[in-house]
Chain A
Amino acid sequence: MDFEDSPQEAEFRAEAREWIARHAPFDLVKAFRSGLCARSDLVTGARDWQRKKFEAGWACLHWPKAYGGRDAAVMEKIIWDQEEAPVGALNELVLIGQGMCAPTLMHYANDAQKARHLPRIASGDEIWCQMFSEPSAGSDLAGLRTRAEPDGDDWILNGQKIWTSWAHEADFGIILTRSDPSVPKHRGLTMFYLDMRAPGVEVRPIRQANGDTVFNEVFLTDVRIPDAQRLGEVNQGWRVSLTTLMNERMSIGSGIPTGLPEILDYVTALEASGSGFSAGAAFDDKLADWACRANGLKYTSARLISALSQGREPGPEASIGKLVAGELMQDIAIETWDLLGGQVPHGDASLRARHSLVHSVLMRSPAVRIEGGSDEILRNIIGERVLGLPAEPRADKHLAFNAGPAKAAN
């Protein structure tokens, strides 16, 4: 039972920490989190940061050298992520490309495609997005309707994707389509990748509930793509998407910030401000419960990392990270809001900056409970795949897609 880095790991950590301390734009990230600069400034800063990392050999370090990485061990990648966490917001722009699309490409693209795209994904020169969800297919992803029809050596795509994060910044995207509606829904899907500037692709940003604009609608009208951009076999898209989603679990399951230390610091700063404000015993009681959950999460992630370092793969049990973190961050922010009783400390700039964080957690946390598998879907996954409980009856499981509910809705 130990937490210690091996001597090699410790050396690597020291080196990474020093490089990050010297080069990362900490102030930019702090300013963004406190509401003191715009999303577009952060995006510019994020692109610079990716390039800097790439040039110094720190980008996607666990990837093969040929693709822009340095063949580093998984543990080194994890250590890097831990050290980079304070400026983790700079990676949101590239997370989907590096964490989900790239592993899918590594698995299913041809050598020329890999050589062309992967180094550019690593350097942040190419931003990628993931077009899975549709207006009528979210949790029930396999119910999607965007059609892919063969046309000589090409495919023609028609349909609509939605909630596509970063599509407005993206150069390419992976896209899951329906290639055969006459078979049950999971068996008629095919995966492709797509140039977001191809004729017939139209991206329309959607304003989010928190005022930000990160996700989009993507309309596809007679978009022609070569068969060479197909990922995996025809009608095997469901299996390909599982590769992508498994990597999603790895990349977001490892350490989600809950906002606890920042909000605790804010409440403490308010008490120390001489205003006479006091949080009281009820807050302490909740604080202790939050700490149990937050520490439980932290050490659950340590157990996962430990398993990885021993060469074991994380299974569906990794789902608990987002499930716990999403609810926890929302609880913390709402309780703190309640504690303040509507007061906003406008007088003091540093308190106002801290206060902004409560707002951003309040308004962003609902999304964490939906994106990448809602709380309810995660509970189903835990119930069925971890605990082995019987699946729910699924009315359309064995029906041909065009004979199921999709037909009724048309």
Chain B
Amino acid sequence: MNFDFSEDQALVREQVRRLLHSHACPEMVRALLEGDLQAGQPAWQDICEMGVPATALPEALGGNGLGYLDLCVIAEELGAALVPAPVALSRFVAMEVLLGFAEAEPGAAFLQKLAEGRSIAAFADCRRPLSANVQIEGHTASGWFSLPVDGMPADLVVMVGPGGALFLLELDAAGVAIESRPLRDPSWPEQAVILDSAALLPLAAGPEAGEKLDGLLARSAVLVAFQQLGGAQRCLDDAVAYAKERTAFGREIGSFQALKHMLADLYVSVELARSNCYHGAWALMSDAPDLELAGALAHVSAANAYLACAKGNLQVHGAMGFTWDVDCHLHYRRALWLSGLLGGRQAWKQLIARTLRDEAAGRIAEADIAGQELADGL
């Protein structure tokens, strides 16, 4: 048993960390929040050159020989560095879904472009009533849906239609318009995609498409969970560092038990998330039968940890934490955004509960007889 990442994966981690360190990621995030939707371009270019979008792809689709464990390590570093680049949107979600339909065209051709970084994809689930209103007739769509932007805008959308069928939509196609509709301080930028009889490329339809999609999104959940884990650990580290340095009432604030115990609880939340993430990574790598449950546990637990650590970090920093120039709010925004990226914690919690309830029902059916015998015998 070796329930840890390997030395090779540690090298990958080191390499990504160095690369991200050479960029002023938080500054790019501020620019993105102030309306520059291309703000992450320099980081994204380096990330692509390093082969991140091609990681864990089959060689035939342009894979670079690295696997899912490497991708998990990369995700954790991206989360820690707060990099504004569409890795989660494009690689972790859209491409991971597309990979499920890669045997046939048009999936394969698009994947190659995405792997090389020549295209950026996003994922839109138009079954969600508040962020989409789309009508599909044959292979054309009209209406609107909203699309998040992270560092660079997408040019391709993997779309779930209102009926559950899967499509690809090229954003430069006829009948597609993109608008920015400002909100008051959104936690993360997004665009509205307006469709007027826009052409769709069908990927899959029927009930199997939906079932397969759930399995594929569980894979995304593991990868996003690692990104959340990286962010959570960074918030905790920042909070601990500040608590050792800042003084009040003649002592370091970290010696006050109210803060010390809060930080201890945050540490626990990060450790639990880390353990769930490692289990998720193992399930992802080995295509385990309980991958859906493992992905859900990793994602919910990492979302919990990141939100808790982002809140706690801001609190520990006092008013300093409530300034635009200190990074606390960037993590706070990122934690909120990532927790909603795959449909929100509630949906994943329902999946966990459903799975555990089904397992329990199975056990009860078996044990009922044995339990009765035990009680009768005594």
Partner-B contacts on A (CB < 8 A): 1-6, 9, 27, 30-31, 34, 36-37, 75, 261, 264-265, 267-269, 272, 284-285, 287-289, 291-293, 295-300, 302-303, 305-307, 309-310, 317, 320, 323-324, 349-350, 352-354, 376, 378-380, 382-384, 386-393
In angstroms, how far is the closest chain B Cβ from the Cβ of A78?
A: 9
B6 contacts partner chain A, Cβ-Cβ < 8 Å: yes
Please give, as numbers and ranges, the residues of chain B lying within 8 Å of A389 by CB-CB distance: 240, 243-244, 252, 254-255, 260, 263
| Contact (Cβ within 8 A) B375 A293 | no
| Contact (Cβ within 8 A) B357 A292 | no
| Contact (Cβ within 8 A) B275 A299 | yes
| Contact (Cβ within 8 A) B272 A30 | no
| Contact (Cβ within 8 A) B261 A324 | no
| Contact (Cβ within 8 A) A299 B276 | yes
Q: What are 9 A-B pairs at a CB distance below 8 A? A: A261-B363, A291-B356, A292-B300, A307-B4, A350-B371, A379-B260, A380-B264, A382-B267, A389-B260
Q: Bound state CA distance, A317 and B349, in angstroms?
A: 28
User: Which range contains the number of B residues in contact with the other chain?
Assistant: 35 or more
B50 contacts partner chain A, Cβ-Cβ < 8 Å: no
| Contact (Cβ within 8 A) A287 B353 | yes
| Contact (Cβ within 8 A) A288 B282 | no
- Closest chain A residue to B371 by CB distance? A350
B281 contacts partner chain A, Cβ-Cβ < 8 Å: yes
| Contact (Cβ within 8 A) A380 B260 | yes
Taking a contact as CB atoms closer than 8 A, the residue among A296, A350, A379, A387 that contacts B275 in the complex is: A296
B22 contacts partner chain A, Cβ-Cβ < 8 Å: no
| Contact (Cβ within 8 A) B3 A27 | no
In angstroms, how far is the closest chain B Cβ from the Cβ of A25?
A: 13
B10 contacts partner chain A, Cβ-Cβ < 8 Å: no
- Closest chain B residue to A285 by CB distance? B349
Please give, as numbers and ranges, the residues of chain B lying within 8 Å of A34 by CB-CB distance: 374-375
Please give, as numbers and ranges, the residues of chain A lying within 8 Å of B275 by CB-CB distance: 295-300, 302-303
In angstroms, how far is the closest chain B Cβ from the Cβ of A140?
A: 15
In angstroms, how far is the closest chain B Cβ from the Cβ of A286?
A: 9
| Contact (Cβ within 8 A) B360 A265 | yes
- Closest chain B residue to A292 by CB distance? B301
| Contact (Cβ within 8 A) A393 B251 | yes
**Taking A288-B350, A299-B279, A379-B260 as contacts, is the C-beta distance between A390 and B244 under 8 angstroms?**
yes
Please give, as numbers and ranges, the residues of chain B lying within 8 Å of A9 by CB-CB distance: 1
Q: Rank and list the top 6 A-B pairs by shortest CB-CB distance, nearest first.
A: A296-B272, A288-B349, A284-B353, A299-B275, A349-B375, A383-B260
| Contact (Cβ within 8 A) A392 B255 | yes
B103 contacts partner chain A, Cβ-Cβ < 8 Å: no
**Taking A1-B282, A265-B364 as contacts, is the C-beta distance between A303 and B352 under 8 angstroms?**
no
